[in-house]
Amino acid sequence: MRTTRLHHLQLAAALLCALTAGTAFGQAAPTAGAPANANPATGTAPANPGSGFLPPASSSAKVVDAVRVVVNDEVITRNEVRNRVAQIVQRLRAQNTQLPPQEDLERQVIEAMIVERAQVQLAKEMGVRVDDRMLDAAIGRIAQEQKMSVQEMRNQMEKEGMAFAAFREEIRNEIMMQRLREHEVDSKIQVSDAEVDTFLAAEKAAAADRIEVDIAQILVGIPANATPEQIAARSARAEEVMRQLRTGADFAKVAATYSDSADALKGGVVGWREADRLPPVFANALRKLSPGQVTPIIKTNIGFYILKLNDKRSLANNTPEQSVVEQTRARHIMMKATPTMSADEVKRRLEEMRAKIESKAATFEDLARQNSQDNSSSTKGGDLGWLYPGDVMPEFEAAMAAMKPGELSGVVQTPFGFHLIQVLERKSEDVTLQKERSRARAIIRERKLGEAFEDWARQVRDRAYVEYREEQ
């Protein structure tokens, strides 16, 4: 049904899954000894504002919208919290997940909103901007994934009580946060050749044991620069979580209640991952489990993890498939139409050059040096070197593919201009090892990125000024 699909759109697609390259594990929310919504002056949590889950605030409500949290110089209002809680309740119910107590759920929601707000503020400070064209393209892709037009999606949202303008702003913020993360975290991850060599050797030794795992997680985070007392308190909290799981508590409900990871409000769901792409300490623990079991508590510098194995499956083909590509060595003469030389005149001149080359009245190299406007190749007689598939524009590549070595093309037009092309030679190259090394580098990078991202997100949150206001 469309309504069910749209609930997921509002909740999951608002996180812009289509635009974010997910890490293996969600970002860690910062933690402290007091509850996340504790009054800073007393260290105690505010009283439960009511029994049952609050409905989303009506857009026509006439009450004054109270401030719940101040994040640096911005506020999170009561209605914003109520609306987010209502969305999360929809998601958890759609997953058939038991709902945590209202106070715990509201605390988790507020913490997630603080993390988001702090990252968006930092993005703006660093000059990250998302223009309307980029935003419209992202929303168009989301609508396409939902098999709707943008207008249909808008109508359905407004029918269900969600303002389309608010949805646009959520997506804009998600794009800003993603671009900030790419700049601050992704671009700084380095993988050495030695790391790739070590990974491939280890993978070859364990080739028969490659699996994919469907997992969920609970993270009890450790604050940055934590004291021994704080670490002990978080360890005790992790033990309490484990105690509840051992006595039969629902994993998703416990995750939504206690986890400090960004996926807490999705019941801790991580989904399917290749075990090799997880940190080795996680992969090793998961390999020992049967579906339905949970790992012991795993301590990292981010916090205390508990993972649940929902399912696992073997990777069928452990031998890399041989990959051979054909390379083409070619040269060209490129000319562009200008205000003083029309496209027809350019094509006429290139045809004249072709005739001179075929009659041996001139060489290709000399004509390229004298006439080609491709500065990178003209000094080399037009030589482009060895080209892989996809290295040149489609029109250029199609012309090359139709030619035998030694042949000259007719005039070929691309977005860069008009070309006279000659194929010099071809060869096949086995790129199997190259592809395997690229795959290994991507896996190692993903492992590093997960922990680096969580650490960065925690630091951004810890640097933010946060003031909690009691519910009136």
Average pLDDT value for residue range 231-256 = 95
> What distance in Å separates the CA atoms of residue 443 and residue 276, rounded to the nearest whole number?
7
Residues 267 and 303 both lie in one domain: yes
What pLDDT is attached to residue 447?
Answer: 83
Task: Confirm whether 92 is domain-assigned.
Answer: no
- CA-based nearest residue to 200, from 431, 433, 450, 449: 433
Residues 331 and 414 both lie in one domain: yes
In the listed set 269, 286, 317, which residue is the last one of a domain according to the structure?
Answer: 317
The structural domain count of the chain equals: 2
Task: Confirm whether 419 is domain-assigned.
Answer: yes
Average pLDDT value for residue range 137-144 = 90
Report how far apart, in Å, the C-alpha atoms of 307 and of each of 94, 99, 100, 313 are.
22, 20, 19, 17
Residues 312 and 391 both lie in one domain: no
Confidence bin at 16 (pLDDT 50/70/90):
very low
168, 170, 171, 176: CA torsion to nearest 10? 120
Task: Confirm whether 413 is domain-assigned.
Answer: yes
What pLDDT is attached to residue 233?
Answer: 95
What pLDDT is attached to residue 229?
Answer: 93
Q: Which residues contact 184 (CB under 8 A, 6 or more apart)?
A: 456
Average pLDDT value for residue range 202-227 = 84
Confidence bin at 280 (pLDDT 50/70/90):
confident
Range of the domain at 251: 211-317
Task: Confirm whether 204 is domain-assigned.
Answer: no
Phi, psi of 445 (to 5 degrees): -60, -40
Average pLDDT value for residue range 259-273 = 90
Residues 338 and 421 both lie in one domain: yes
If DSSP codes are grouped into helix, strand and coil, which group holds residue 294? strand
Average pLDDT value for residue range 453-471 = 86
Residues 262 and 331 both lie in one domain: no
pLDDT at 453 > cutoff 80: yes
E strand intervals along 73-142: 74-77
Choice between 42 and 362, residue whose per-residue pLDDT is larger: 362
Strand order across the beta sheet in which 269-274 lies: 269-274, 211-221, 303-314, 298-299
What pLDDT is attached to residue 455?
Answer: 84
pLDDT at 154 > cutoff 50: yes
> What distance in Å separates the CA atoms of residue 425 and residue 291, rounded to the nearest whole number?
55
408, 410, 413, 414: CA torsion to nearest 10? -20
Amino acid at the residue 41: A
Confidence bin at 406 (pLDDT 50/70/90):
very high
CATH of the domain at 407: 3.10.50.40
What pLDDT is attached to residue 317?
Answer: 58
How would you classify the pairing of strands 269-274 and 303-314?
A: unpaired
Whole-prediction pTM value?
0.55
Task: Confirm whether 383 is domain-assigned.
Answer: yes
> What distance in Å separates the CA atoms of residue 15 and residue 86, rounded to the nearest whole number?
16
What pLDDT is attached to residue 31?
Answer: 45
Amino acid at the residue 146: Q
Confidence bin at 472 (pLDDT 50/70/90):
low
Q: Which residues contact 299 (CB under 8 A, 6 or more apart)?
A: 235, 305
Specify which residues 422 forms β-bridges with.
Answer: 331, 408
What pLDDT is attached to residue 208?
Answer: 59
In the listed set 283, 317, 351, which residue is the last one of a domain according to the structure?
Answer: 317
pLDDT at 437 > cutoff 90: no
Residues 293 and 364 both lie in one domain: no
Do the beta carbons of residue 63 and residue 71 sit within 8 Å? no
What pLDDT is attached to residue 48?
Answer: 35
Confidence bin at 272 (pLDDT 50/70/90):
very high
pLDDT at 33 > cutoff 70: no
Residues 306 and 249 both lie in one domain: yes
Instruction: Please state, for a pLDDT cut of 70, what percent of the chain lies above it.
Output: 84
Residues 295 and 342 both lie in one domain: no
Confidence bin at 95 (pLDDT 50/70/90):
confident
Average pLDDT value for residue range 89-99 = 85
Residues 364 and 268 both lie in one domain: no
In the listed set 317, 351, 372, which residue is the last one of a domain according to the structure?
Answer: 317
Average pLDDT value for residue range 22-28 = 42
Residues 408 and 391 both lie in one domain: yes
Task: Confirm whether 226 is domain-assigned.
Answer: yes
Task: Confirm whether 255 is domain-assigned.
Answer: yes
Task: Confirm whether 148 is domain-assigned.
Answer: no
If DSSP codes are grouped into helix, strand and coil, which group holds residue 230? helix
What pLDDT is attached to residue 424?
Answer: 97
